[in-house]
Amino acid sequence: MKRFTAMTTAVLFLAMTSVLLAEPTVETVAEGLNVPCGVAVQPGTGHVFVADSAAGRVVRIVDGEIENVIVDFPIDKYGKGPVYPIGPLGLAFIEENVLAVGGGGYPDAKDKLRVYNVPAAGEAALKADDDDVSALELPATDKLAGEGNFYGVAFTGDALFVTCNGDDTKGWISRAGVKGAKVGPFMRAIATKELTEVDAPVAITVAPDGSLAVGQMGEISLPGDGLLTFYDPKDGSKLANFETGLSDITGLAYAPKGKLLATDFSWSDPSGGGLFQISAKYTKKKQSLDVTKIIELDKPTAIAVDADGNVYVTVVGSGEGTSGKLLKISNL
């Protein structure tokens, strides 16, 4: 039988204490970005792609270097106090080399969800509106306003789900079916404002059970009104709805072991922004929620997690010129 000495006990105690007290490690992967608003990890290569929104481009980070992938996106403006220039927004990979990009550079009803076959690292960049690019729109109808600002994009395996911020009376999540190389049709699918009574679906991700987890930003001038809502992607029904106490949920992603992470831009009070862990549980009769702040961040906009559990977050920073960064956060 192994005998434990006082020294052995002390060593074990110190080891356990160091684990309990471990702080997240934050590393700047890339800087000099201009209002970055989307991030995705490429399957297979592990390269991180960023929607460098105000620069009108999508880039990839290879060995710490920024490389253009898609350029010449149009630029529009979004927000009030402050106002930010925006171009490409949400990113999601369908396959290793097939990337969906949500647009925000045109007026509502003209914004596009584009799907690209991205070049390999080191190859020449594409242009946003190359002739062979699939581009989908949600125009106005007799009864519905046109849609745009396609901020969040999530892929379920057979469809792309995209958050829209054009029609504030409905607050749509749109859907584009994916079958082989064909993407579409692109249609309005879930009217989130009618189901939650809160504006602006922004962040979206696929939960481990296949449901859609959506962050409702609410009014950017109103702190603490952010919701986390779960929807059934098959019929659009609301499964659960949580008042989070967060202000402006811009990013959602699941880390290994089902840990849900969220970024809060906190528009009205940037000091409240950061990376959070959310524990949300629900059944038909009961639901519970716990929100824990992990670290403070300066206007975070999007989040992605790689196969090793490293978390990548884009931050706007001061918003003046190229103050944006891509951060890598580990040891969570």
pLDDT in tens, 109-160: 899 999 999 999 999 999 999 988 999 999 999 999 899 999 999 999 999 9
Average pLDDT, the chain: 91
Whole-number pLDDT of residue 166? 85
pLDDT for 293 beyond 90: yes
Please report which confidence band the pLDDT of residue 315 belongs to, taking 50, 70 and 90 as the band edges: very high
Please report which confidence band the pLDDT of residue 19 belongs to, taking 50, 70 and 90 as the band edges: very low
Which pairing describes strands 65-71 and 126-127: parallel, antiparallel, or unpaired?
parallel
CATH code given to domain 30-330: 2.120.10.30
Segment (H or E) for 213: strand 212-216
pLDDT digits (tens, 9 = 90+) for 249-277: 999 999 988 999 999 999 999 899 999 99
pLDDT for 17 beyond 60: no
Give mean pLDDT, residues 220-229: 93
Reading the block at residue 129, the tokens are 């509106």
Q: Do 144 and 188 meet the contact criterion of CB atoms below 8 Å apart?
A: yes
CA pair distance 224, 221, nearest whole angstrom? 10
Please report which confidence band the pLDDT of residue 22 belongs to, taking 50, 70 and 90 as the band edges: low
Distances (CA, A) of 270 to 86, 139, 238, 273: 19, 34, 30, 5
Give mean pLDDT, residues 215-234: 94
Whole-number pLDDT of residue 320? 74
pLDDT for 219 beyond 60: yes
**Could you give the angle at the alpha carbon of 175 between the alpha carbons of 169 and 181, nearest 5°?**
155
Q: List, in sequence order, the alpha helices (H) in 146-241.
A: 192-196
Strand order in the sheet with 259-264: 249-255, 259-264, 274-282, 287-296
pLDDT for 12 beyond 50: no
**Could you give the angle at the alpha carbon of 43 between the alpha carbons of 264 and 129, nearest 5°?**
80
Q: Domain coordinates of the chain in residue numbers?
A: 30-330
Q: What is this structure's pTM?
A: 0.92
Q: Do 249 and 217 meet the contact criterion of CB atoms below 8 Å apart?
A: yes
Please report which confidence band the pLDDT of residue 307 belongs to, taking 50, 70 and 90 as the band edges: very high
Segment (H or E) for 252: strand 249-255
Using a pLDDT cut of 70, give the percent of the chain over it. 93
Whole-number pLDDT of residue 168? 83
